[in-house]
A and B are shown apart, each in its own frame.
Chain A
Amino acid sequence: MWFLVRRFILAFIVVYMQTAVIWQISLMTMTIITQVIILGRLQPFVLPSKTKYELFSEVVVMLVMYHLICFTPFVPDVDMRFRLGYSVSAIVIAHLAVSMAILLRITYLDLKFKYIHRNATKVHEK
Chain B
Amino acid sequence: MVPNLTLINNGTIMKDGKTYPVLEVLVEPGDDSDPDKLTFVWNATAQTNTTLTLQLYFDQARWVSSNSNPDKFILIFRDPLMFTGQNGLQIEKEHYALERDLPPQLGADDSEAQAVIGDAVEGAKNAVRVNFVLTLVLSAGLNQLLQMIHTQQLVVLMPIFKVIMPANASLLFAQMMAIAAFDFFETGPYLDVLLNLQPSDPANSNFAAVGFESRFVMHNMGTLLLALIFYLVSAIFAFIMRKMCCDIVVHKGQLWHEQLFYGTLINIVNESYSIFSVSCLINIQKLEWSSAGLIVMSTTAIILLLLILTYPLVYGIFMVKIFEELRNEEVKKKHGEFYKELNLDNGSWVAF
Contact = CB atoms under 8 A, between A and B. Distances in A.
Contact of B166 (A5, A82, A100): A82
B279 to A, nearest CB: 9
23 contacts: A5-B312, A7-B277, A8-B274, A10-B157, A10-B274, A10-B277, A12-B277, A15-B285, A16-B281, A18-B203, A21-B161, A24-B161, A24-B162, A42-B350, A46-B341, A67-B169, A71-B163, A71-B165, A78-B63, A79-B62, A88-B169, A100-B124, A100-B128
Interface residues of B, number: 76
Contacts of B285: 15-16
Contacts of A24: 161-162
A47 B144 CA distance: 14
B118 to A, nearest CB: 10
Interface string B112-126: 010001001100100
A82 B158 contact: no
A14 B278 contact: yes
Contact of B151 (A4, A15, A57, A79): A57
Contact of A64 (B135, B158, B315): B158
Given A4-B312, A5-B312, A15-B203, A72 B158 contact: no
Contacts of A16: 281, 285
Given A86-B168, A89-B169, A107 B270 contact: no
B297 interface: no
Main secondary structure of the interface of B (DSSP, over half): helix
Main secondary structure of the interface of A (DSSP, over half): helix
Given A7-B277, A65-B158, A103 B131 contact: yes
Contacts of B313: 1
Interface of A: 1-5, 7-8, 10-21, 24-25, 28, 42-47, 50, 53, 57, 60-61, 64-65, 67-68, 71-73, 78-79, 81-82, 84-86, 88-89, 92-93, 95-97, 99-100, 102-104, 106-107, 110-111, 114
